[in-house]
Chain A
């Protein structure tokens, strides 16, 4: 027979009650926070993984914001390109109409005014802003990149943003790519250069062949109209086509960037859902399990109390009367 003393009895009961209460308290905390992991030591690995997931999904949200921003600029750029191609189309139509000697000088003068208007429109597109940022200015975004003569003051800066982790997209086209065809510095004497090109047409030089300046084209058209030079105007037709196809190429480029951003966005969004699901699995409590555990533990505590009552409240003395 094991000897049982008052203190061993009491200690055993204390231990049992303490243990049962501790478990119940732990379950209660989990029940109220609905989290399985409320501190790192509950499950160090899951906790750390959940934290890493947390920052990934916050970063993903930032990437979504970045791509919002990129889309804003790219869509504005696309609109601008669209308007540019409209202007070029109109100018080409006019050039086509005026390429024959059908119209008289007075009409041509009037038409020349129209071209000047088109040129002003083009200038406003070239100086287009989002907020205080000029979209065609490269990095030098706070100044007008083009003056009334169509001279370019921006640079070749490629503004990139991170559309998803380590995936950078360029969100701007600089003025030089859009309005000039080559990388040369804008030349003040556009006319003379253009002139040289026509003269040198027999010896096709790639550099010259590619060169058309949108402002220059309109200016030449105006000149041609004002001077009634139908040869020049005819000559310009082909260049308008070239310019048009170049703008279309640029639009395709912008479009493909927009597409890749949209794809990335879709990926990010679904990734975020997956991440949240995983995180929830890692740290959230299984509610049904918790509450059934709580009920179970309450029963254990009650039983412990009852057994304690049986032992503590009675002794041999009660029966010695």
Chain B
């Protein structure tokens, strides 16, 4: 008879535990990264007593966390991919913005205006006012080159800052994972439930996959290992290999700018591992800095350098006309060889260094139109400079200034457009994976509600069993009276 009591009691306990877990699930329905749990329950081991098999009620094996396993890994790699594309789009959109000419006057229009100002000067080479128009439009050019080049530089600089920031975050994540490994291990050693800690570790792994692609596995000594794909082990159980960053000087930097940041293993500063990372924000930032932005910096420099070189080559051949009285025997070639732009020794950093020559900056009459000395009406130099607009002198003599510049813009447009499509696509994939995973591990309130009713009723029924046993006891006890 006591069997009945203990069977009833086991049912009562099991139902109570199940209700508890259902409650836990419901309360965590909106918890980030929570995987639903359920009670693992089995029937009691039957005993043989007095030659008969006696049932022993129900037994709770423990709570179990519904694990999505492979899906979780797929989610991590989708996250890496998505973060890579998102960051790429973010960076490229900023770059694109520099070159966006719809609505505002960009470099293309400004260069065009510069050449047209020389055409206007060719109309009236005697006119001082037009010279000042020419100088203003040339100033606009130098200003816009510096704007473009400067903004590109600061984008690259911001990427460096961002990388430094991310490395700190990455190290935090790594340490958090190691700590969770420790906790999970000690909890499981005493047979505790580690489901909620595993949820937290999954969250930490997911935030780590936003930075770069990772793989995780249990090694043969049951250590939980986190690998950065292409780089190596970062966490093995409780051991952490932290990352470090260091700014490079100009010569050893990978984008030709001093202070650009590279990533190292902490305490192993021999060679940097920046390029080895795959996917994720880190790779995206490095790609934008080392390839996209750097290429544009070079292209802008090339245009700026060739513009100054081309204009100077023609301008210095002419003779300035001065309204001073010519002194007998004075060298008429004195007013020649004047540079229009400041002479740049080479193309490096030309976009930042482009400026008017001090001659032109100080004196408008130093803007030359005449090929021969003392010819105020001679406009051949001005005409020749305006002809530079259609001269194919860039990209080994295959492109005009405009064509080359538009090629850069077109390229950026294509890249950004592609990044946008890729981002959309990877976002779709990510959402799909997330929802697949959530379908398996997420909490359904409807389901839990149904479960609650089920367990409540089971609880009531188990209580009825106890009541029945009690009644039976009463009957037996009543015989004596």
Q: Which residues of A contact B (CB under 8 A)?
A: 2-8, 11-12, 15, 33, 35, 37-45, 47-48, 51-52, 54-55, 58-59, 62-63, 65-66, 69-70, 131-134, 137-142, 155, 157, 159-162, 165-166, 168, 172, 283, 315-317, 320
B374-A140 in contact (CB<8A): yes
Over the window 437-466 of chain B, the binary record of Cβ atoms lying under 8 Å from chain A Cβ atoms (1 yes, 0 no) is: 011111111110110010000000000000
Question: A6-B30, A51-B406, A65-B123 are known contacts. Are A317 and B442 too (CB-CB below 8 A)?
Answer: no
Query: Once the chains are docked, how many angstroms separate the CA of A5 from the CA of B440?
Result: 8
Stretch of B149-157, B183-191, B376-384 contacting A (4+ beta carbons < 8 Å): B376-384
CB distance from B378 to the nearest CB of A (A): 4
**11 A–B contacts from the bound complex (CB under 8 Å):** A5-B439, A11-B434, A38-B102, A43-B413, A58-B109, A62-B119, A65-B119, A133-B377, A138-B375, A159-B378, A283-B102
B90 in the interface (beta carbon within 8 A): no
**Considering residues A62, A155, A320, which has the most beta carbons from chain B within 10 angstroms of its beta carbon?**
A62
B375-A157 in contact (CB<8A): yes
B414 in the interface (beta carbon within 8 A): yes
The 8 Å CB contact of A316, one of B113, B402, B431, B450, is: B450
Question: A51-B108, A140-B374, A160-B379 are known contacts. Are A7 and B119 too (CB-CB below 8 A)?
Answer: no
Query: Once the chains are docked, how many angstroms separate the CA of A314 from the CA of B126?
Result: 84
The 8 Å CB contact of B377, one of A8, A42, A70, A137, is: A137
Chain B contacts for A37, CB-based, 8 A: 102
A44-B126 in contact (CB<8A): no
CB distance from A33 to the nearest CB of B (A): 8
CB distance from A272 to the nearest CB of B (A): 14
Q: Which residues of B contact A (CB under 8 A)?
A: 29-30, 36, 92-93, 96-97, 99-103, 106, 108-109, 112-113, 115-116, 119-120, 122-124, 126-127, 370, 372, 374-380, 383, 386-387, 389-390, 402, 406-407, 409-417, 420, 431, 434-436, 438-447, 449-450, 453
CB distance from B261 to the nearest CB of A (A): 28
B409-A11 in contact (CB<8A): no
The 8 Å CB contact of B101, one of A45, A51, A69, A168, is: A51
Closest A residue to B406 by beta carbon equals: A48
Query: Once the chains are docked, how many angstroms separate the CA of A206 from the CA of B438?
Result: 104
Question: A5-B443, A6-B443, A40-B416 are known contacts. Are A139 and B113 too (CB-CB below 8 A)?
Answer: no
Which A-B residue pairs are the 5 nearest by beta carbons?
A: A5-B442, A40-B413, A141-B377, A44-B413, A41-B416
**Considering residues A8, A66, A283, which has the most beta carbons from chain B within 10 angstroms of its beta carbon?**
A8
B29-A42 in contact (CB<8A): no
Query: Once the chains are docked, how many angstroms separate the CA of A229 from the CA of B419?
Result: 94
Chain A contacts for B377, CB-based, 8 A: 133-134, 137-142, 157, 159, 172
A8-B438 in contact (CB<8A): yes
**Considering residues A15, A33, A166, A168, which has the most beta carbons from chain B within 10 angstroms of its beta carbon?**
A15
Query: Once the chains are docked, how many angstroms separate the CA of A12 from the CA of B415?
Result: 29
Chain B contacts for A162, CB-based, 8 A: 119, 122, 383, 386
Chain A contacts for B378, CB-based, 8 A: 139, 157, 159
Chain A contacts for B106, CB-based, 8 A: 51
A142-B126 in contact (CB<8A): yes
Chain A contacts for B402, CB-based, 8 A: 52, 55
The 8 Å CB contact of A48, one of B103, B126, B410, B416, is: B410
Chain B contacts for A159, CB-based, 8 A: 377-379
CB distance from B282 to the nearest CB of A (A): 24
Chain B contacts for A62, CB-based, 8 A: 116, 119-120
Query: Once the chains are docked, how many angstroms separate the CA of A59 from the CA of B389?
Result: 10
Closest B residue to A46 by beta carbon equals: B413
Query: Once the chains are docked, how many angstroms separate the CA of A258 from the CA of B449?
Result: 93
B116-A58 in contact (CB<8A): yes
Query: Once the chains are docked, how many angstroms separate the CA of A172 from the CA of B93?
Result: 52
A317-B449 in contact (CB<8A): yes
Query: Once the chains are docked, how many angstroms separate the CA of A3 from the CA of B438?
Result: 9
The 8 Å CB contact of B376, one of A6, A58, A142, is: A142
Query: Once the chains are docked, how many angstroms separate the CA of A42 from the CA of B109?
Result: 20
A165-B390 in contact (CB<8A): yes
Chain A contacts for B103, CB-based, 8 A: 33, 38
Chain B contacts for A133, CB-based, 8 A: 124, 126, 377
Query: Once the chains are docked, how many angstroms separate the CA of A38 from the CA of B93?
Result: 12
Question: A161-B123, A315-B445 are known contacts. Are A47 and B102 too (CB-CB below 8 A)?
Answer: yes
Chain B contacts for A41, CB-based, 8 A: 92-93, 96, 412-417, 420
CB distance from A37 to the nearest CB of B (A): 7
A48-B109 in contact (CB<8A): no
The 8 Å CB contact of A131, one of B113, B116, B126, B447, is: B126
Question: A48-B413, A157-B378, A316-B449 are known contacts. Are A6 and B442 too (CB-CB below 8 A)?
Answer: yes
Query: Once the chains are docked, how many angstroms separate the CA of A140 from the CA of B123?
Result: 15
Question: A42-B417, A133-B124, A159-B377 are known contacts. Are A139 and B372 too (CB-CB below 8 A)?
Answer: yes
Closest B residue to A8 by beta carbon equals: B438
Chain B contacts for A48, CB-based, 8 A: 406-407, 409-410, 413
Chain B contacts for A283, CB-based, 8 A: 102
CB distance from B60 to the nearest CB of A (A): 24
Chain A contacts for B406, CB-based, 8 A: 48, 51-52
Query: Once the chains are docked, how many angstroms separate the CA of A210 from the CA of B431?
Result: 92
Query: Once the chains are docked, how many angstroms separate the CA of A191 from the CA of B198?
Result: 117
Query: Once the chains are docked, how many angstroms separate the CA of A283 from the CA of B442?
Result: 47
Query: Once the chains are docked, how many angstroms separate the CA of A237 from the CA of B147?
Result: 71
Question: A39-B100, A162-B383 are known contacts. Are A6 and B413 too (CB-CB below 8 A)?
Answer: no
Chain B contacts for A132, CB-based, 8 A: 126
The 8 Å CB contact of B375, one of A58, A69, A155, A320, is: A155
Chain A contacts for B374, CB-based, 8 A: 140
CB distance from B122 to the nearest CB of A (A): 6
A316-B119 in contact (CB<8A): no
CB distance from A239 to the nearest CB of B (A): 31
CB distance from A314 to the nearest CB of B (A): 9
Question: A161-B123, A162-B383 are known contacts. Are A35 and B102 too (CB-CB below 8 A)?
Answer: yes
Closest B residue to A50 by beta carbon equals: B102
**Beyond known contacts A5-B36, A142-B376: 13 more, CB 8 A cutoff:** A6-B443, A7-B30, A8-B434, A38-B100, A41-B92, A41-B415, A42-B417, A43-B417, A59-B115, A66-B122, A66-B123, A139-B375, A315-B449
Query: Once the chains are docked, how many angstroms separate the CA of A39 from the CA of B453?
Result: 58
Query: Once the chains are docked, how many angstroms separate the CA of A317 from the CA of B453?
Result: 10
Question: A48-B410, A131-B126, A139-B378 are known contacts. Are A8 and B446 too (CB-CB below 8 A)?
Answer: no
Query: Once the chains are docked, how many angstroms separate the CA of A47 from the CA of B101?
Result: 9
Chain A contacts for B127, CB-based, 8 A: 131
The 8 Å CB contact of A12, one of B407, B413, B435, is: B435
Query: Once the chains are docked, how many angstroms separate the CA of A185 from the CA of B138?
Result: 41
The 8 Å CB contact of A59, one of B116, B440, B450, is: B116
Query: Once the chains are docked, how many angstroms separate the CA of A66 from the CA of B383?
Result: 12
Closest B residue to A171 by beta carbon equals: B123
